Structure 1
Amino acid sequence: MKTKTLIPVLMTSLLVAGCGGNASYEDIDAYMAEVKSRPVPQIPPIPPFKAYKAFNYSASGLRSPFIKPVEAKQVARLSGNTAVKPDFNRKQEFLEQFSLDSLRMVGSLELDGVRWALIKDSENSVHRVRRGNFLGRNHGRVVESTETSVLIIEIVSDGGDGWIERPRTLEIKTSDG
């Protein structure tokens, strides 16, 4: 057991002893002196800085050569009905200040034979509407109310001088969907 520990200790001490001592560094000192005595070359000056000019790609709005061109089709324009137009003189109801997309049907109830739909607005207030009430910004009139949905007819501009009727439906939604 002693020889197993004695041999590594002796080897380590020999290695450490070889690194130390009074060794002179005359050859290294001579080489360093020779290198320092060599003439110093001139370093060329730094070239002048050229400002970067950004490239402005002006063809981004043009058709890509890698995508097949889209064929333009003539869109048939809906012609408005002259008999249909909103009544601008009637008093607006409270729910007409909200867009139809921000309104949700949350329930329905029936009182004295009249079906009421419960509509929640974007401010989380619940309102009741029935047939004939108006809601939404596009002159939407409630046409029918069932237990699960409200049928609304909106009067929207046809893009010209006329108006068209557009049916929309609000369906009951649960709180998680």
Structure 2
Amino acid sequence: MKLPSHARVPFAVLWGAVLLSGCGASKEDDIRQWMADERNKTQPKVAPIPAPKQFKPEPYTNATAIEPFSNQKLTQALKRDSSQAAANAALIAPELARRKEPLEAFPLDTMVLVGSIIKAGQHVALVKVDNLLYQVRVGSYLGQNYGKVTKISETEVVLREIVQDAVGEWIERVATMQLQEGSK
């Protein structure tokens, strides 16, 4: 459909007016101006940096001591380690040289103390492992950590075990087995 020529002119004028109205000041310009003004008013508050502390050198007083990286210091450390290794070896050596007893094949947590009796004037513990009952005396060995029975009472068995600690050194520790009430 073609518009008559007298209708084309007002349409063109109207379209031009719309385009020119977009070029005028808008609310967006007002907001931008307000933000710029506020930004200029705001002053940052920065605390001043304190002055650096004065350096006071301290005299070195360990000049007569052994230098930490010297061969002498290394020799002392190796001697100390070898003496500890000898002490550790002395602790475990007798255990490695003797014949193992039957109860040393089982871990302590699989053994149950079911009672004790007095036989020939000495306490004898009754230990149950795999549905078998064993008589244990002071000096007997049980458990997988070279456990040697040191004391037997009516309600417990006290052992001395030799175990390796976190750094691999052999140490002694005390372990106990308590009487289990109502054990089958």
TM-score (normalizing by structure 2) = 0.49
Show the counterpart of 2:146. 139
Unpaired runs of 5+ residues, structure 1, are: 1-78
Q: 1:161 to 1:144 in 2, by over 3 A?
A: same
Which whole-Å CA distance do the structure 2 matches of 1:157 and 1:119 have between them? 26
* Contact 1:139–1:154, Cα closer than 8 Å, also in 2: yes
Within-5 A mapping of 1:74-113: 82=88, 83-85=90-92, 87-113=95-121
Within-5 A mapping of 1:1-177: 82=88, 83-85=90-92, 87-121=95-129, 123-175=130-182
Q: 1:167 to 1:112 in 2, by over 3 A?
A: same
Partner of 1:84, secondary structure, is helix
Which whole-Å CA distance do the structure 1 matches of 2:139 and 2:177 have between them? 15
* Contact 2:113–2:156, Cα closer than 8 Å, also in 1: yes
Identity of aligned residues (%): 37
Structure with more helix by fraction: 2
RMSD: 2.1
User: Displacement of 1:174 after TM fit?
Assistant: 1.6
TM-score (normalizing by structure 1) = 0.51
Which whole-Å CA distance do the structure 2 matches of 1:147 and 1:134 have between them? 19
Which whole-Å CA distance do the structure 2 matches of 1:96 and 1:175 have between them? 25
* Contact 1:119–1:128, Cα closer than 8 Å, also in 2: yes
Relative contact order higher in (CA < 8 Å, ≥ 6 apart): 1
Partner of 2:126, secondary structure, is strand
